[in-house]
Chains A and B, each alone.
Chain A
């Protein structure tokens, strides 16, 4: 296969103006953190410090919760659904207007390729606000139960893999249903959330409806533990999800948890192999594999395993790994040093346990955090790389002979977030979809997302759904019932 040499095609970063320091967004104002501590956020592709960001203390979280409560009782819960919707439409439009700026900022802070932040993340952010805006005055039609009402003040803690998109998944349904929000972005990717705060101001969103507190684990814990929080929405690791479930046990706080996964991408011998290979690539190398629903376990039918593996490796040789700001880049930087070390540790365990390691051998930049697209073959189900979430550009390949064996292997994990099926046989797709214990099944496609489509896991991948009519359920309380 010929490899085309492309000239560099860097996106301009002139569109963003990053302040050297950022405060917290509480009650509609940017304020300094009371503790006076701050942390640095870096561009993972260059290790350049982008900005200093305030670390919210428990007192700051308390101020944010109080601002959210005031906004809830005085303004937002009393406002008509139609008017709430109009604020969300405004936000959707401003996101579209400032899309390029948001995409560049996301790529600088996160390390993901500009073509993904520009074509996937930011358009989906706008779509989420636009979709939920329309729900705000139609909740009584959503089969949510009798008299759906907002829950109150919602604490939201989001991860670093899709920073602004996860904010949209959380904030849009919360606001549409009449709740107010205290949101903490991940400590390695706070910048687009802080730009979103500015967007709220441009939209004249009433002060306190959205509050953004930056910080790390302690800030998140302060939100979880705050007695003024009525509901929590968390996306992140299963370990932290369990801590949250423990923290709220015996209280009346509600929670939705969107946690880890170890998705099986299952390729049958009658699949369109080249399409399946593209789907495998999308499944695990999209967003550097920093995707909870990634197809991190490739299950290939034994009689086509060699052929699939050969074509997959050839395809991986053509992936462009490097400068995320280059419009031709396919795989960007690993989000943080800590994450890179975790990927390294797990891949070393994979080798030590006897799996065969292959990578594309591509050149990597001298600075920043990088990991080559990597394939492990000869993986056993007991290997750590078949059981634990790597959250990086690493796929573990296992084989199977029968559909029943594929299902057994796919379901053999405490997780249950996603699965993929590749076959040209319709009845087999539907049978497989029934058998797989996963919240999302992609058949002859992978990693597709839409605001109308509910997303969430079975088993230890968490509970609750985000998106679609189903996603509204977590944000309302209804009358009646026993």
Chain B
């Protein structure tokens, strides 16, 4: 009996709802995490090695998608994001397989991580029509005015995805950015990019409009500076600077100051960046890091 030759996947970028290769034509080898049983690392795939131009194209796509995504009703955004969790559940086998290979986990552990990632997505989806009431409200000003403060999305956010936690970490930084109506460019984990491409395929087959999430795989140290200095990016999440080869998060924050991007610094103390534990249920800090408060006044009178 002959063994069937399987059909393998090409792992590409996700920009503006399409899956292009890098405009640079480059790719790089992605290897399985060493598990101690094998002496030579196992080849998994050739991922696209995104370039400065890819990152810029992704920003253009994110900017184009931003007003539409922000003006969708909160109920609608909640349903669309919930739908992503449904699709993730349907693609569980592939997510488990790629997380297992990427992170060097046991099958049971990989199952648990994927379950947590899906549950995290559902947790954030449910916030879409709630955070505005928690974070905003009426201001009791000393005068005859109606005065109300409400959160709005910051705009286009660049996200350095965690290097180690390739799916749960990715979901934990991505979902809080887009649930409020931001759009984003995600720089996937350099060594573990495959779950990010799987997630992009989930996004593409749910109802998330193209351009809301754009995923660039490649060398973090090469692409991140272009996102940090990009004048049409409003905010940057530096979580994935922790343990990223050749990445100086202070330098990225310095570049981000040029147009006063909102910067979410990596975890850790001093200059040291540490990837957080994404296990526990989060608070609202990641969601609120990419919000602007707008205050509107109007006189009262007869």
Interface residues of A (CB under 8 A from B): 127, 143, 145-146, 238, 241-242, 245-246, 249-252, 257, 259, 414, 429, 433-434, 438-445, 448, 450, 452-456, 458-460, 462-463, 465, 468-470, 473, 478, 480-482
Contacts and interface: CB of A to CB of B under 8 A. Distances in A.
A339 B139 CA distance: 35
A456 B298 contact: no
Contact of B135 (A143, A146, A434, A462): A143
B140 interface: yes
A459 B139 contact: no
B1 interface: no
Interface string B265-281: 10101110000111010
12 contacts: A127-B142, A145-B283, A242-B258, A249-B250, A249-B253, A250-B253, A252-B270, A452-B140, A452-B147, A458-B154, A460-B259, A465-B293
Given A429-B298, A445-B145, A473-B288, 5 more contacts: A242-B257, A439-B295, A443-B297, A450-B147, A459-B260
B295 A482 contact: no
A482 B142 contact: no
Contact of B260 (A257, A468, A473): A257
B167 to A, nearest CB: 15
Nearest to A433: B296
A459 B153 CA distance: 12
Nearest to A460: B260
- The B contact surface, by secondary structure, is mixed
Contacts of B267: 482
The 4 A-B pairs at the shortest CB distance, nearest first, are namely A250-B250, A245-B257, A249-B253, A450-B141
Contacts of B278: 482
A446 to B, nearest CB: 9
B251 A250 contact: yes
Interface of B: 71, 134-135, 137, 139-143, 145, 147, 149, 154, 172, 234, 248-251, 253-254, 256-260, 262, 265, 267, 269-271, 276-278, 280, 282-286, 288, 292-299
B280 to A, nearest CB: 7
B254 A246 contact: yes
Contact of B141 (A241, A452, A459): A452
B248 A481 contact: no
A143 to B, nearest CB: 6
A246 B139 contact: no
B142 A456 contact: no
A459 B135 contact: no
B293 A450 contact: no
A439 B297 contact: no
A442 B297 contact: yes
B294 A439 contact: yes
Given A145-B285, A252-B265, A445 B293 contact: no
B285 A441 contact: no
Given A450-B142, A454-B139, A249 B254 contact: yes
A482 B286 contact: yes
A448 B143 CA distance: 10
A468 B257 contact: no
A250 to B, nearest CB: 2
Nearest to A452: B139
B299 A445 contact: yes
Nearest to B277: A482
A453 B139 contact: yes
Nearest to A462: B260
A447 to B, nearest CB: 10
Contacts of A245: 253, 256-257, 260
Contacts of B140: 452
A249 B257 contact: yes
A433 B147 CA distance: 12
Given A249-B253, A252-B270, A482-B276, A440 B259 contact: no
Contacts of B284: 145
Nearest to A439: B294
A229 B280 CA distance: 31
Contact of A468 (B149, B254, B282, B285): B149
A444 B298 CA distance: 6
A252 B294 CA distance: 27
Nearest to A442: B297
A178 to B, nearest CB: 19
A145 B297 CA distance: 27
A455 B259 CA distance: 20
Contacts of B294: 433, 438-441, 458
Contacts of B269: 252
Contacts of B234: 459
A245 B250 CA distance: 11
A463 B236 CA distance: 13
Contact of A440 (B249, B254, B297): B297
Contact of B295 (A257, A454, A478): A454
